A = this chain, B = another copy of it.
Amino acid sequence: MHVELSEALPALVALIEGHLLRERVEPVRTPLSPEALLERLDLALGEQGVPFGDVVEQLHEVLAVTPTTASDHFFNQLFGGRDGAAVVGEALAGVLNNSMYTYKVAGVHVLIELLLVKRMGALMGYDEPEGVFTPGGSLSNLAGMVMARNEAVPDLMDRGSDGRALRIYTSADSHYSIRKAASMLGIGRDNVVKVAVDERGRMVPEALTKAIAADRAAGHVPVMINATAGTTVLGAFDPLEPLADLAQREGIWLHVDAAYGGSMVFHPDFRAHFAGISRADSITWDAHKMMGVPLTCSVVLVRHKGHLTKHFNETADYLFQDDTDDLNPGTRSLQCGRRNDVLKLWTAWKTHGDEGYRRRVQVLRDNTLYAREIVEREPRLELVREPESLNLCFKVGGARADKLCTAMNRRGRAMVGHAFVDGEPVVRLVFLDPTLPRERIDAFFEALLLTAEEGELPEVSR
């Protein structure tokens, strides 16, 4: 029925140590098909249990075929590396298992969440922020949209939509979670207005102004401007100050999706990108991206205290029984039972300080520029855009980027993704692991060029 953790602990340590060793020896793995994995592993669950020692052996096997996202061969997503400090906090959260809805049950961890919200809000220029950790940037953006919508149509949360078209403005380069949230929230995807971006991938305020005017003329209800601070493909920052002016003039909620770029606020070189963000009504910021904390660690910050509680609180006398709302984050969260996503961030931040994250951003940016030089120097590579932050988008002569990235993975050389810029596939290389040695960047390009030369690239199946 259960295993004592004290007895399982040596196995956990052996599993982690084994994984770290294998990751060094085999930093990237040739992917196996589902059929091959199912043949190799005994995953099936039975009527009878299996001795825990045998399950541990099977876990060693599972770990051995798990795609490595923390190795120096992983460039596929907007996260990477592994910070032992954060992992310790994450593992402890699982051992403690405090559900983050009430002070009675979560105690000091509620204070840690409040402290992080205050600190992160202050970095964004908020005086008295409210905030709550959510299970990821998509849901932080959704929370922003719920508040924006409810503020625009005050009785909607009780009476439901009145059928008017509620309009959401976001750049053509913004994350798909905006469209997804509009779908989920009953706003409708057709009511997401994709605003034009400039050559660098930044929303064009004049285009937004026109779109809002046209919507007002048509009797639609403008609800939210979503500005992106760090777009998914180009890493671009929308111009926040003019967008804040516009939002203020029009009386529209301004949300900033800084899921990816938010952590650049630590670095003075990028502070100008954040000018105006303190005027945003809400902000999404994922610490699991650039701050190297395990997934997920996302916060939605709100400029005016009370908005989250106003739009997310429900009476539940079987749950909220003691203490004030401020100490019971369940009154402002999207969930009821909620895991502790804050201890890992606190542990890491305490260890590194703001200064550590400033250095991290510096190193990541330096690596980007180092790679940019390689692309510039190498005639077979073509830079598609100057890197706005950490994303390097380029083409490889003689090879379609999408097929090339798939081949890099299938041949067990590196995990890297493609994207589309101006309708053309490009390699999107991102640098999120601050421990990445320069030689690994060199080696990545060598492998990429070799793969392009070898030809016979696989079809991309989507």
Find chain B residues with CB under 8 A from A319 CB: 176, 417
- Known pairs A4-B84, A8-B87, A87-B94 / 17 extra A-B pairs, C-beta < 8 Å: A1-B360, A2-B82, A2-B84, A5-B87, A7-B84, A8-B85, A37-B111, A44-B115, A45-B116, A55-B347, A59-B89, A67-B107, A99-B295, A160-B187, A163-B163, A322-B462, A323-B461
Q: Is A157 an interface residue (CB 8 A)?
A: yes
- Quick check: B1 and A9 within 8 Å, CB to CB? no
**A439 CB, nearest partner CB in chain B, Å:** 19
Stretch at the interface among A133-141, A366-374, A445-453: A133-141
Assuming the A-B contacts A136-B335, A157-B188, are A17 and B9 also in contact, with contact meaning beta carbons closer than 8 angstroms in the complex? yes
- Quick check: A94 and B353 within 8 Å, CB to CB? no
- Quick check: A314 and B176 within 8 Å, CB to CB? yes
Q: Is A125 an interface residue (CB 8 A)?
A: no
Assuming the A-B contacts A156-B188, A176-B316, A434-B2, are A79 and B107 also in contact, with contact meaning beta carbons closer than 8 angstroms in the complex? no
Q: Is A356 an interface residue (CB 8 A)?
A: yes
Q: Which residue of B lies closest to A167 (CB)?
A: B160
**A130 CB, nearest partner CB in chain B, Å:** 17
Q: Is A180 an interface residue (CB 8 A)?
A: yes
- Quick check: B84 and A6 within 8 Å, CB to CB? yes
Query: Can you list the 3 inter-chain pairs with the closest CB atoms, starting with the nearest?
Result: A163-B163, A160-B188, A186-B186
- Copies of this chain, whole number: 2
- Quick check: A3 and B67 within 8 Å, CB to CB? no
Assuming the A-B contacts A70-B97, A92-B15, are A321 and B162 also in contact, with contact meaning beta carbons closer than 8 angstroms in the complex? no
Q: Report Cα–Cα, A2/B393, bound state, in Å.
A: 27
- Quick check: A179 and B314 within 8 Å, CB to CB? yes
The contact of A91 among B12, B320, B353, B363, by CB within 8 Å, is B12
Q: Is A190 an interface residue (CB 8 A)?
A: yes
Q: Is A183 an interface residue (CB 8 A)?
A: yes
Assuming the A-B contacts A185-B186, A322-B409, are A12 and B92 also in contact, with contact meaning beta carbons closer than 8 angstroms in the complex? yes
Q: Which residue of B lies closest to A189 (CB)?
A: B158
